[in-house]
Each structure stands twice: as structure tokens, then as C-alpha cells.
Amino acid sequence: MKRRLGTSAVVAAGVAFAALAPAPAQASAPQPRIIDTTVITEVTPLGYKVTGLALEYDGAIDLGTADIDETAFAVRVALTRPGASPLEGARTVVDAYASDRPAFSDAQRAGSFIILELDENEPLSAGSYNEGGFTRLFDLVGSYSVAQVASVVGAAADTSHPGNGEKAQKLNGHPGRTVVNDDVIDLIVDDYAAGSYTAPSGATLPYRMFTPALDAESSYPLVVTLHGYGESGSGNIEQIAGNQLSVAFADPLRQARHAAFVLSPQADPTDPSKGAWWSPSMQTAVIELVEKTIADNPRIDPSRVYLSGLSMGSYGSWGILGQRSDLFAGALLVCGAGSEAAAVANLTEFPIWAVHSVDDSIVAYDAPGSDYRIFRALQAAGVPVTWSEWSGLLPDAEQEALAAAALTAAQADGSEHLFTTFSAGTTPLFDHGSWIPTYTNDIMIDWLFAQ
């Protein structure tokens, strides 16, 4: 704004003063400062985590190519849950850059946001907790605070010739001023629509549905996922946020390779109107929901419907396939069990890739009806089975190379049944977590979409 003189001063000085006075000065533009912050979460292979913050400023930010010092920001978290002391502490910023949107990016760009990427491996990155064996999500609204504690200086636009360069922008720090988040962006999870289905039997199925970007004419596969016992509940969110079972198929990189609908219902063993996946009424309700989903969405290709379940969801998948394998084209099943007799009677030609840790302490590898025992029974009945084993701790690329070798062997043998064992002591987090390396394995998921 221009500085203005009072009226009496102008009259006293007269025209001569106006002629001799220096040009009016320009006041400095106010420095942009943080006015809002939003938590960004991701469902990582190791669970639901807070991996970033989007800081919104009240002015334009153009830092050019300058790197932002991550230590210019102090981030603290206080995670609360019923009946427990808060989990509090600092989070570590591993990258910072300006952006024109509240989203992660590979390049800095001018805008009104600064994105902070946080260390996802530190304990306070968790966005969920275990309560009585069930995965529950922290209420993350209001849980994060951030302050800019040091100045951030941009790069001048052009300093190669005197007089041509533009002054670098500087964002002053405000160490004593913190901003608390009032919103949460759940990457991928936010792209699902919520629904509920009540079967004629009375069983209720809350579900989430992901719809791909549809073109004018194509039809698309449908992937049905059945979660494990830990993701049971009534929130209609844990089954897609608890682990990568569902979001692995909705991930943008996966959708670019295999665009598909994803249907993820939720069971609740503690609720008589819902139940667990091993309940016959729940299996019937899933079948009915799948049929209804296909009927309601003419863009779904009914010849390309796939089933994937882990742990309790694998139990349910074996039960459903024993009744209605005609509804599906293939299945990817992890650390579960079913009926050996039903599999031999109904699934000798149905494509299945199953995965199980040899030292699984929750669903024993060699227990009656286990995935492993089912595949042994199929082989004893004369069905070709391709066996493979590797460490679940190997880098993704190495596991995918071993999966590709197993698939090549299966194709050579004309086998529609593949079984992969994770060696003892090599399953990430704990011995039952076979799904962790499974849903990051592109070869296995590519195989499913090839059916």
C-alpha cells in the first residue's frame, strides 16, 4: 500500500513540497505463513500410516529449484484412543517441497502448499492400533501440529546477468506459532464409495466399492476381497485400510496396468446380524452381493470376476468357491483353510494361487484343511500343482523373479494350481503375515488378471 500524508500536512507544505518530496515508498508484502495443515495417510505394506502433511499458506510460494531444509519444520503428534495413554512425540520430516495441491509429487512447483513427507518407519507413523485382536483407526483429526521454526529461502529466478535476477522469496519462520490439522486425506481409500447390502437371510454386509476411470466402451474386471479376522468390525473402513488386500488392486499404478472394479465387504463376528466369513449365511450374502454388483454395473465383465482373501477371508473364499466357482475366473488366497474334499470335488480345473508361511502360528501350515493340505489333496487326485518356496523378506524384484519362474513352470506343466511357501522366519512383522509380500508381488496379481 502507498503511504498517505495527513490533509493538514499537505496544505501547509504546498505544491513546492510535493515537487521536492521523494517518491512514496512501497510497504513490504506480508510474508506467507501457515494457515492450515492436512494429514496424508497411505496403506503401506506394513499397515495404515501417516506419511505426510500438506501445509497450506495464505500466499503464493515460488521457491524455484531451491531445496527446502527439512529441519525448518517441527512436527508433533498426539495419538489418543479409549482407555489408553496418548502416544506423543515428534515426527521426522524426510523431504519438503512446494506444491500447488495437497498431494505428494516428484517435483517442486509454485503454489500455496508445502508438502512434508514423513518417515513411515518410525513407531509414531501408525494410523491404526490393535484392540482385542481387531484393527482400529486412530481419529487423526486434530492429532498433528506443525510449526515453521526456521526461514525457508528460495532460489532467484535469474542471477546470470546483473539486474536481470528476481529476488529470491523468503518465508520467515514462526517458531512460537503451531497449526493443528483439521482434515485427513486417505490416499486411495478416499476413492472408494461406501454401501451396505442386506441379504434375504438377514445378514448385513457393509462394503466399499472402487470404480475405475471408465472409457466410453470398455468392460472391466471385478476383484472381490475378503479381509481377515483383524479387519472385522462395523466401521466399513478397516477392510480397506487395515492392509493392502484391497488397495493393492485400486492403486493408480495397478489400475494403469489392469483397470478394475474392487468390491470389499466387511464382516463382524461380534454381531449376530453379520458374522464371520466362515459362516454359511455370510458366504451366501457375499455371493448375492457379487451377483447384485454385476447386475447393477453393466461395465463389469462377468467372465473376469476374481476373488482374493486372507486368513479368515481365505476360509470364506474356499467356502464360496466350493459352492459357486462358476461366478469367478480365478483366486489368490493367503494363509487360510477350507475343505479338502470340496476342493477335490469342485475345483480341480479352477485357477488358484495360494500362499502360506511354513511356520504360521495362527493358521497352521499343515493343519487339516489348510491351503497346503488342500493342494496336496488336489495333487493326490491327479491335478497338476506347481510348488515354490522363497523368503518373504527378499526384495520385491527378487520375489517377483521367483514368482515368474514358478509361473513359467506352471505353464510348462499345464497347471492351474500354484502354491508358494514362505520359508520359516521370513514373513514380515509376524509369521501369519503372508499377505504382506503377496500383495506387493506384481507377478501374482498379473497372473490373477490373466485368468
pLDDT digits (tens, 9 = 90+) for 37-65: 999 999 999 999 999 999 999 999 999 98
Average pLDDT over residues 214-236: 95
Q: Tell me the CATH architecture of domain 34-186.
A: Sandwich (2.60)
All CATH 2.60.40.2180 domain ranges in the chain, comma separated: 34-186
- Which amino acid appears at position 372 of this protein? Y
What confidence score (pLDDT) does residue 166 get? 60
- Mean residue pLDDT of the chain comes to 91
Tell me the sheet residues that pair with 87: 79
Output the CATH code of domain 191-450: 3.40.50.1820
CA angle (280, 284, 290) in 5-degree steps: 145
Average pLDDT over residues 326-344: 97
* For the chain, percent of residues with pLDDT exceeding 90: 82
What confidence score (pLDDT) does residue 20 get? 38
**Is it the case that residue 298 has pLDDT exceeding 50?**
yes
What confidence score (pLDDT) does residue 160 get? 52
All CATH 3.40.50.1820 domain ranges in the chain, comma separated: 191-450
In this predicted model, which residue has the larger pLDDT, 36 or 154?
36
**Is it the case that residue 22 has pLDDT exceeding 70?**
no
